[in-house]
Each structure stands twice: as C-alpha cells, then as structure tokens.
C-alpha cells in the first residue's frame, strides 16, 4: 500500500495507543493513517515475546473500557492473548486498512508557513495536519554499557528482541537485570537451562501475583451480563487506585505492601543468606512494583546462582565480576530495560525553527503540556507524553484519557477553523512546575532508589504524581485557552 501525499492525521505507532487513536478518529469521521515500523500491530506486545511474558496488571483492567473481553482466560494474561485481543479489537472496529506496517518514521518537520508537518518515512514522503506520536516510552531496548560486551562470542540478545532460534536446553545462560522483564524470564527458562546466573544490581520488591484461570461460568456470566464485568473492572480500578496515597504522599501507608513483599520472599527463599541478598534496600514502589509467584522459588533452584558482585566486564566467553571471578556463558540475556526518558523519536521531530524535541528538552528534560502537546511543536500530540504513568495501574487508563483529549483538540480545530494549535510556554511551564512540586513528596523521589522513572537531571518526567482521576479530569476537554491558535493560510 503506497502512502498518499497528504493525510489529515498521521499516527506513528500501532500499539494500544495507536489502535485507540485509530478507533477514535474513525468514529469522528477523520482522515488518518497509522504507520508502524514493525511488521504487525501490537507495539510492546508484538515485540516482547520472551518466555513467560505476561501482563503484570489484571487483564480486565489492562484492556479498553470500550472493548471489554469476557473471554480472558486468566487473571493476568500472557502476551499472545493480549496481542490477539488487540488484533481482534482493531479488526472488529474496521480500522486495519488504515495501518501501514513496516513503515518507519525517519523525520518530521513542522512547516510554519504551510502550517503542516512534512514527514519522511521509509516508504516515502507525505504531509499531515497533525502528527500523533504513539510510539510508547518502553519501545527502544537499552543495552547495558558494560566493557567488552561487544566482544561476547556466544548468543546475546535483549528480552524485547528474544531470539527464539537459540536453544537454552542444558546451556550456561546468564541474565543481566532483575526488573519486570527479568522476573518473568527467569522462572520460565530456569527449568530448561543447564545453569543460570542472574546478575542482580539491586534487589527488587516482589509481591505475590495470585494468578488464576477464570472459570467457564465466570466467562459466561460476563458475556451475558456486561454490567457484571464492568463492576469487576471498576473494583480492580479502585483497588489499584487505593495505592496512590502511599505512593504519592504518605509512604507509611506502604507498610502493608512491604510486609507482603517480605512474606513472599520468606516463603520463596528458605536459605537465609540468599534471602538477605534478595532483600530490597529501598522503599516499596520506588521502582516499579513486581508481581510474581514463581520468581523467588526459581532464584532458589539448584541450577541458579544469584550474582550480586558488580559486573566488571564481559569477555568473549563469559562475565567477569569485580571480585575477579569469570563465569562462563553460552547465552547472555540482557533484561536491562528501555530508553524511557530519552525516546528515540525526540531526535526525529523538528518543530518551529527546526529545533528537535531533543534540543527543546536539552535543558529541562522531557516535558509536555498535559502529557501530550509541546510548546514550539504545533499540532504535535503524544499518546503518551511526559508524566503519564504511575506503575500501579493500567497504562490504558491514561491512553484512553489522552485519546479523548486529542480527539477534542481536533474537533476544536475544525469548529474554530484553526489550522494550528500550540500550547503556550507559560501554560506548559505551570503544568510542569506543579507536577515537579508534587513529585517531591512521592516515593519515587524519596524512596532511596534510582529507576528508569528518573532522567539524567534527577527529575521524574515519566510518572503522574496524583490519582488517576485527577489526570482524567485534567484532560477531559481540550482547553484551547492554554493554546496559541492560528487560522488556516489563505
């Protein structure tokens, strides 16, 4: 399918955000396209196929409110089921013919005379009135900066680029990292690996997951009585929301969660010496909370060594720690996260005056207005932009809220006969000052850890320091008063 020379709205990225936008824009009768660099739809759920990949947010909350799925098989769905759900939702909404797969954004520049975006992609050039970035914060894998890693002669891959051709059976495997991805991979591959070294830099908090299959009767009930499913989802939403005060303000409220984590550790790790090394040294929720019932038992297995000495370097045949020990490795798996605070798209998008997002953010770090628009970048929207997550609940709540805001912005453009909207610098500065003022009280800043939530300035540009309801209220309507608007050129 060739690209047209112009489209009203160009969405970049075909994950949950891209699909939500496509469905919303279609309902509004807008002309739009979605380009996606990967070969298929799904975003993170297409890319992350590592063994054990499962959502750590309950399925009935990690799904669109407008497309409930009574058929979720488990409380926490595996990757393939989430991907199938997203494909089904897009197909049933009839938007798939708007998606161009295998098309990468190379550069987008705002033309301040014609008042449109000039976009260069791997499949050709086009212009668009709005540019909607739906590329996600956790899409560019981050490789660890470890001396000699490029010399490793065995198999080496990131969890988000799993090499399924590599057989782990009986091999010496090493996993670097103990975050959300690693704690799912380790129990999944431990029974198969001959020997597994897990390199832990900081011990995470891990609370029980309590996954369980849904019964046929439950699924039948939800199908017949959608109100029951909505009530179930609402209960999940509010039970997650109850964590917000402890995370954002009063950390002593997190004591029960810490007790839960400690009990989970004690239950899963009988050896006191290993337990001590797996005990977190920071406040719970400071880093992304992890949920697992099988991580600690896997870490206690006879074929697993938990290595806590820092890594000094990687050699062609193994990993050397600072105590001088070299452990041989056949397969090296890096579970070291993503470029969350420095997404690659910041180098590709040029606003007024030719400045890239990276240049606009060089002094302050990533900052948007209401988590979506950016001063100096007319008609650019991100779903999701800065400070639009929390770690305690479903990101889809934020995706839906911002999709509504973008749709309202487009309606405002049409109603007012405007060609361009751009948030005023003072509105954006006030929005961010308020976020960072509130941020000071959060466990992310006071919990005694560093995490991917923080950028190189020690600032938190990723998370929302209030309840989810406050975010939804803030973006319920497009507040055109906070924007400079420009009429269409004659």
Judged by the rule CB under 6 A, the positions of this chain that interact with ligand NAP are 54-57, 138, 144, 146, 159, 176-182, 199, 201-202, 288, 311, 335-338, 452
Residue 46: other Cβ atoms inside 10 A: 20
Nearer to ligand NAP, 218 or 321 (CB): 321
Instruction: Give the E-state strand segments of 94-224 in sequence order.
Output: 99-101, 105-111, 116-121, 124-133, 155-158, 172-176, 195-199, 206-207
Pairing of strands 290-291, 206-207: parallel
- Residue 241, judged by CB atoms within 10 A of its CB (0-12, 13-18, 19+), counts as middle
Residue nearest to ligand NAP (CB): 179
Give the separation between CA 352 and CA 114, rounded to whole angstroms. Answer: 12
CB of 385 to ligand NAP, least distance (A): 16
Nearer to ligand NAP, 19 or 335 (CB): 335
Q: Give the length of the chain.
A: 490
Nearer to ligand NAP, 110 or 199 (CB): 199
Contacts of 214 (CB under 8 A, 6+ apart): 72, 73, 74, 75
Nearer to ligand NAP, 144 or 148 (CB): 144
CB of 44 to ligand NAP, least distance (A): 8
Give the separation between CA 254 and CA 443, rounded to whole angstroms. Answer: 10
Structure tokens that stand for 138 in this block: 């956790």
CB of 143 to ligand NAP, least distance (A): 9
Nearer to ligand NAP, 109 or 202 (CB): 202
Nearer to ligand NAP, 53 or 131 (CB): 53
Give the separation between CA 396 and CA 86, rounded to whole angstroms. Answer: 12
| Residue owning tokens 């470029």 | 339
CB of 46 to ligand NAP, least distance (A): 14
CB of 271 to ligand NAP, least distance (A): 21
CB of 345 to ligand NAP, least distance (A): 18
Pairing of strands 195-199, 304-307: parallel
What does the DSSP 8-state code read for residue 462?
S
Nearer to ligand NAP, 336 or 403 (CB): 336
Nearer to ligand NAP, 375 or 459 (CB): 459
CB of 438 to ligand NAP, least distance (A): 21
Give the separation between CA 379 and CA 433, rounded to whole angstroms. Answer: 23
CB of 465 to ligand NAP, least distance (A): 17
Question: CA torsion, points 230, 235, 241, 243, in degrees to nearest 10?
Answer: -160
């Amino acid at each position: 399918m060739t690209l047209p020379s112009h489209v009203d709205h160009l969405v970049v990225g075909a994950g949950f955000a891209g699909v939500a936008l496509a469905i919303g824009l279609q309902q509004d009768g807008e002309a739009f396209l979605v380009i996606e660099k990967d070969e298929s739809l799904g975003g993170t759920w297409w890319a992350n196929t590592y063994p054990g990949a499962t959502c750590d947010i309950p399925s009935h909350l990690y799904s669109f409110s407008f497309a409930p799925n009574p058929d979720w098989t488990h409380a926490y769905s595996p990757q393939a089921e989430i991907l199938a759900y997203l494909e089904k939702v897009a197909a049933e909404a009839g938007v798939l013919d708007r998606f161009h797969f295998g098309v990468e954004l190379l550069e987008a520049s705002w033309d301040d005379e014609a008042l449109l975006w000039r976009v260069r992609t791997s499949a050709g050039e086009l212009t668009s009135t709005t540019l909607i970035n739906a590329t996600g914060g956790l899409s560019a894998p981050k490789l660890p900066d470890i001396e000699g890693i490029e010399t490793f002669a065995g198999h080496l891959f990131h969890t988000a680029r799993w090499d399924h051709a590599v057989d782990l059976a009986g091999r010496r495997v090493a996993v670097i990292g103990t975050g959300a991805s690693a704690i799912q991979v380790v129990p999944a591959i431990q029974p198969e690996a001959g020997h597994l070294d897990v390199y832990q830099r900081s011990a995470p908090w891990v609370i029980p997951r309590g996954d369980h299959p849904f019964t046929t009767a439950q699924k039948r009930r939800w199908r017949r009585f959608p109100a029951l499913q909505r009530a179930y989802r609402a209960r999940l939403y509010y039970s997650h929301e109850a964590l917000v005060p402890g995370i954002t303000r009063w950390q002593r409220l997190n004591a029960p969660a810490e007790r839960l984590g400690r009990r989970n550790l004690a239950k899963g790790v009988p050896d006191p010496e290993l337990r001590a090394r797996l005990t977190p040294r920071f406040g719970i929720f400071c880093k992304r909370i992890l949920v697992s019932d099988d991580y600690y038992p896997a870490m206690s297995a006879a074929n697993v060594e938990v290595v806590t000495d820092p890594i000094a370097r990687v050699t062609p045949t193994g990993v050397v720690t600072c105590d001088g020990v070299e452990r041989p490795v056949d397969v090296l798996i890096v579970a070291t996260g993503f470029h969350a605070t420095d997404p690659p798209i910041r180098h590709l998008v040029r606003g007024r005056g030719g400045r890239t997002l990276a240049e606009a953010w060089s002094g302050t770090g990533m900052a948007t207005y209401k988590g979506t628009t950016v001063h100096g970048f007319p008609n650019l929207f991100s779903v999701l932009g800065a400070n639009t997550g929390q770690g305690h609940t479903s990101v889809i709540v934020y995706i839906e809220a911002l999709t509504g805001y973008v749709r309202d912005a487009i309606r405002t453009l049409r109603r007012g006969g405007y060609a361009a909207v751009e948030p005023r610098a003072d509105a954006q500065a006030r929005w961010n000052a308020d976020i960072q003022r509130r941020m000071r009280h959060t466990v992310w800043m006071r919990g005694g850890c560093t995490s991917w939530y923080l950028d190189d300035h020690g600032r938190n540009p990723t998370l929302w320091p209030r309840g989810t309801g406050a975010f939804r209220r803030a973006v319920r309507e497009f507040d055109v008063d906070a924007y400079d608007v420009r009429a269409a050129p004659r």
